[in-house]
Structure 1
């Protein structure tokens, strides 16, 4: 019997969402791809191997234990409002980055501080918002092995951070505890920096590594 949590990925048909899905499926998780179109999500699920299904965003979020939001920032608030009622009591992992076209390589954080803080305000105190996966290039996730970079994880509830660190360990070199949710602004801003690096150095997915760690936080 699979005791691992079921993960819904809203935006699961996109590059980042589908890349995360493939990694978690390979690690033995049940994944539900969410999309505004249930048919699009079901079609995408049929191309993947493992315990995977597809549905509209609300149904996917309702059926999951953990909900990952991997939608463009332009759809961020609408998606959260769509699923607000069905994610109460759950962990919602926000991977959205506040990119503002056309200057996506320029840091342009929202007045609220970060996408993650907007998510917590919209969803309310009954939802444990954790922020992660901003700086992992989707290209790396689709290569079939864990991405050679670290994932910074932020949240106000340590137990929820630890859960998401475990999920990050399945898709990248390591999940790193970045502290409280407000600190997510640093990783969200760093995404624009990495996009610029990708362009200047002509690489598909520059990432980050945190050096000098030899023990778990607090040990």
Structure 2
């Protein structure tokens, strides 16, 4: 059952593996979730399968209904999706989970000239949107298993308040969220995704993740 005191989370690209996994995990933690897709019918159908607390909309509808908007789309459709939702996310937090993978060499780091997907998002959305970067290194399979994913989530933003809000959201679906500093630092986590893909292939594991040590007695971000 969703908790009305918690923010409504809209997941753009919510019918994909990562988006649907996040939706299930946040709904299980008591959040109301709206999954978005280019096809509203597809989103509505999947929402009914994922369980209570989750509804489906098209991308713009999901972004409009949400307090916090999560971009869980492939990098190839990143900029076009941002253009689609830009008007309705002004004044909101947008969490960019996009990773600039360039097929076929997805296990090789290939960051964009702008520095990171998150920096591209901030530039396209403008100063009226607080962009946060997170969830790049969380294997979708871990989220779909149920319970919290056994990994830490690095969270980046130039806005401390927004960063801390997303750290809390990350702690609801994974071991914990860990602040990683300014949005420019997102390049490290985006690049790390390719490293983890290489590790998965090399060691034949389904979802290598990260854990930050030494924080047991520290305060969040």
2:42 and 2:52 map into 1 onto residues whose CA distance is 18
Using the size of structure 1 for normalisation, the TM-score is 0.98
Describe how 1:61-210 pairs up with structure 2 within 5 A: 61-210=63-212
Cα distance in 2 for partners of 1:177, 1:90 equals 19
Q: How large is the Cα RMSD of the aligned pairs?
A: 0.8
1:54 offset after TM fit, Å? Answer: 0.5
Give the equivalent residue in structure 2 for 1:4.
6
1:216 to 213, 216, 219: 219
User: Is residue 117–residue 182 contact of structure 1 (8 Å, CA) maintained in 2?
Assistant: yes
2:62 and 2:175 map into 1 onto residues whose CA distance is 28
Q: Given the two structures, how large is their TM-score scaled by the length of structure 2? A: 0.97
Q: Displaced runs of 4+ in structure 1, greater than 2 A?
A: none
- Give the Cα–Cα distance (whole angstroms) in 2 for the partners of residues 64 and 35 of structure 1: 14
Cα distance in 1, alignment partners of residues 211 and 54 from structure 2: 30
SS at match of 2:122: helix
SS at match of 2:49: coil
Q: Which runs of 5+ in 2 are unaligned?
A: none
- 2: CA distance between counterparts of 1:63 and 1:158? 24
Provide the rounded CA distance (Å) in 2 between the counterparts of 1:29 and 1:171: 11
Residues 95-147 of structure 1 deviation map (CA, whole Å, 9 limit, x = unaligned): 00000000000000000000000000000000000000000000100110111
Cα deviation 1:5-52 (Å, max 9, x = unaligned)? 000000100000000000000011000000001011001101012211
| Partner Cα separation in structure 1 for residue 52 and residue 168 of structure 2 | 19
SS of alignment partner, residue 69 of structure 2: strand
Q: 1:62 to 1:198 in 2, by over 3 A?
A: same
CA distance in 2: counterparts of 1:109 and 1:146, whole angstroms: 29
Q: Whole-Å Cα distance in 2 between the matches of residues 217 and 127 of structure 1?
A: 23
Cα distance between partner residues in 1 of 2:161 and 2:137? 22
How far did residue 217 of structure 1 move? 4.8
Q: What's the CA shift string for 1:41-68, capped at 9, x where partnerless?
A: 0011010122111011001101110000
Report how many residues are paired: 218
Alpha-carbon deviation of 1:185?
0.1
Structure-2 separation of matches of 1:171 and 1:51: 15
